[in-house]
Amino acid sequence: MSSAVSRFPAVGRRVLVTGAARGLGRAVALAFAANGDRVAVHYGTRRDEAERTAAELPGDGHVVVGGDVADPVAVERLVAEAADGLGGIDVLVNNAAVNTPHPPTTTSYDEWAAAWRRHTDVNLLGTANVTHQAVARMITQGGGGRIVNVGSRGAFRGEPDHPAYGATKAAVHAFGQSLALSVARYGIAVASVAPGFIATDRVADRLAGATGEAIRAQSPFGRVAEPDEVAAAVLWLASPQAEWSSGTILDLNGASYLRS
């Protein structure tokens, strides 16, 4: 690799976004499409929503791919379908995740074990397996690539009612840093974002009433993030200018949690 700034393209890229049927993933897909990129919109179970998202993306050449990222066989297939549909993969955004409550003091052992298994299979192993398949294609293609992992501030501040979520997101951050060291020689840069609360459909009930007021009060701005604010950061981390940020974990929490 040359010591010069990367020639990785700024537009016209082929982008796979996992968990893109709605919420943050949808906002990320929209941001890349508006940038002039072609997007593979991945879904786990919400095919109708994924197809609506793809239909609303500006530009053309977008595709929809489905599969449970917890299943290694399904991962191999969905990445292949994305690469075939787009003609390759230049950018991967690992957004697919689960986050169901399992407080340690009130959750039965069977439910506890199942929660940890599902969070690990989707949030960590799914991310690792999709990444493995995407990286193999980026290397074969040549020309570099970008990987952005969606982590969480919960990896640092703790998640008392969602401990498996916090733990697996911490593992995703560590995975991204290890990967950044491994794939830089191929011109592939890897970064993670660590958002706080985001105003998506999934958490709309938690943002209502007194609970919502308490959540918004965590930030001195008195609000939570909008999906497009986080999507903008993801888009930048996938840009040519962000190569030197490879290995970083970018906090996006409105000063609701500050770490040193």
Q: Which residues are catalytic?
A: 152, 165, 169
* CA 191 – CA 176 distance, rounded (Å): 6
* CA 253 – CA 222 distance, rounded (Å): 11
Give counts: helices (H), strands (E), the chain: 9, 7
Please report, for residues 37, 38, 102, the alpha-carbon distance to residue 33 in angstroms, rounded to integers and kept in the order given.
5, 6, 36
Tokens of 233: 């950061």
- Tokens 């493995």 map to which residue? 132
179-210 burial, b if ≥16 CB within 10 A, otherwise e? Answer: bbeebbebbbbbbbbbbbbbbbeebeeebeee
Please report, for residues 91, 144, 148, 243, the alpha-carbon distance to residue 190 in angstroms, rounded to integers and kept in the order given.
10, 11, 6, 8
- Tokens 């969602």 map to which residue? 162
For 198, which DSSP code? Answer: B
Angle at the Cα of 228 from the Cα atoms of 86 and 128, rounded to 5 degrees:
50
